[in-house]
Chains A and B, each alone.
Chain A
């Protein structure tokens, strides 16, 4: 390809192009390039910003390997994903299939289901803090009204992360309903018609046509939920502070604590790097496994 095909002077197009992309170059250097390089430098230092940096070699990594809180944050993230992803997929797909059934007021329902998506996570978290309160929370009042026992949503270390995952599902499911709905509407109706002629049951049609055709959307939901799970911050920050027993300490929350409560910029950068590598690895693995499954 000739870069200078339809321009008046040979270098003119280059110049105009460079001028137009220059804001991005500046932005990239400041907010991506420099941080990437600097985070690499930071990983080998102990630094609280105010005093000079101290080179400490691999001690941040040594500390990380022996840090119970690091392992806790990773385990917690996986617990979150383990609850959140299936719930999200099932809820989003289920509601999308219902909405796809020639429903009246579809737009109205969609608007309502989408409401938590647009509202700030802070609002949702404050609201759910009240819903989840053990003694007087709305959910436990509902439980006792139904004659069931109260659930220690946020105070039991075994279920607190699950509770946060439910809340996150409630907050985000609207997006995925819309995505699945779009996916459903893209499935050619002939596929269903020919399957019906072959005598396939509704369930068989769902599993043989709907699900495989929605595979790209499923991958999107998986990847976005995973990235979201690894980015969890404001929910545990407001709801639990990472407790009880560090059961809701998320990776980003731990980075935040290390950096801004304890002033350990180097260690926080190390945690961030390792966490980022993990997100990357998990997403790649998911894509590989789920996408091949779809094409088979």
Chain B
């Protein structure tokens, strides 16, 4: 009896969290007049809203832009983050601890302070309306360095010493020995960076005006609040569904990694 109630509550919760997405997808297939009902089924369902979205905005291009910029950020954060994390964890050099505290400090700097000057920097470098501007502030992240450092500190010194005796350079040690051992942290950093970069809207809105360079969330945002969707619900929901789809697909395959990575980002606080 009690367990029945427990499951009823949990299922109600599942409906609360999942039903809106189902409704969004179902409504995006409906003709405009039928949107608004609770039902998911429509006899005149079809992909006309999607066709219309594709004809009105370059959403395919935006998808490409988002994949490109998120991949660049992710690659860069893994490559450079692990380099810095390794140096901080396993090398002794003067100023190391100072640098580490500096990195911890930067994690506490609210972005509200740096947002405007970062934009000014993009203007000064003349790179607004480029992919470079979209990815530049995300090429490294303090949090990823801290994650890498923490993980690398746990690796037994013997592995590193053995490699050094074999004459490996630190670079080779990092790439051949450390990184393969650090798969979990690489996955975490990759997911976190990719997600953050994929979902970022404020920064692209600021540095990109050229439609062909817009990222997907940016284009969908402007499509929704600008005049182009003509306040047509079906089009907005179709655009939103397209934006949600890649992440939901990724999530359905790697739920565990997604949840663990994003929860670990929560613990940093």
Contact = CB atoms under 8 A, between A and B. Distances in A.
Direct interface between A and B, CB < 8 A = yes
Interface of A: 1-5, 7, 13-18, 20-21, 23-24, 27-28, 30-32, 34-36, 38-39, 42, 49, 95, 98-99, 101, 103, 107, 109-123, 126-131, 136-138, 141-142, 170, 174-176, 178-179, 182, 219-220, 223-224, 227, 230-231, 233-234, 237-238, 241, 251-252, 255-256, 259-260, 265, 268-269, 271-273, 275-276, 279-280
Contacts of A3: 92-94, 96
B173 to A, nearest CB: 10
Interface in B126-148: 136-137, 139-140, 145
Which 9 residue pairs across A and B have the least CB separation, nearest first? A17-B93, A35-B117, A20-B87, A35-B114, A276-B110, A38-B117, A272-B112, A23-B80, A126-B240
Nearest to B248: A119
B109 A276 contact: yes
Interface of B: 6-7, 9-10, 13-14, 16-18, 20-21, 23-24, 27, 35-38, 80, 83-84, 86-88, 91-94, 96, 99, 102-103, 106, 108-121, 123, 136-137, 139-140, 145, 169-171, 174, 195, 198-199, 201-202, 205-206, 217, 220-221, 224-225, 233, 236-237, 239-241, 243-244, 247-248, 251, 255, 258-259, 262-263, 266-267, 269
A272 B83 contact: no
Contacts of B169: 16
B113 A27 contact: no
Contact of A224 (B18, B110, B241, B266): B266
A39 B201 CA distance: 22
B78 to A, nearest CB: 12
A39 B116 contact: yes
B17 A14 contact: no
Contacts of A238: 221, 224-225
Given A35-B116, A238-B225, A273-B112, 14 more contacts: A18-B93, A20-B91, A23-B83, A36-B113, A39-B116, A114-B258, A130-B233, A175-B262, A178-B266, A179-B263, A224-B269, A265-B116, A272-B114, A272-B116
Contacts of B24: 123, 127, 130
B140 A119 contact: no
A278 to B, nearest CB: 9
A110 B117 contact: no
Chain A contact surface mostly = helix
Given A35-B117, A38-B117, A224-B266, A113 B170 contact: no
Contact of B202 (A110, A227, A233): A233
A170 B15 CA distance: 12
Contacts of A113: 13-14, 17
Given A114-B255, A122-B220, A21 B244 contact: no
Contacts of A127: 20-21, 24, 237, 240
Contacts of A176: 266
B202 A252 contact: yes
A178 B224 contact: no
Nearest to A126: B240
Given A98-B9, A122-B217, A127-B20, A110 B248 contact: no
Contacts of B119: 259
A175 B17 contact: no
A260 to B, nearest CB: 6
Contact of A220 (B93, B106, B241, B269): B269
A133 B236 CA distance: 14
17 contacts: A3-B92, A16-B93, A16-B169, A20-B83, A20-B91, A42-B120, A103-B6, A113-B17, A119-B244, A122-B217, A127-B20, A129-B236, A130-B35, A223-B269, A255-B112, A276-B113, A280-B108
B202 to A, nearest CB: 5
Contact of B21 (A17, A38, A115, A117): A115
Contacts of B123: 49
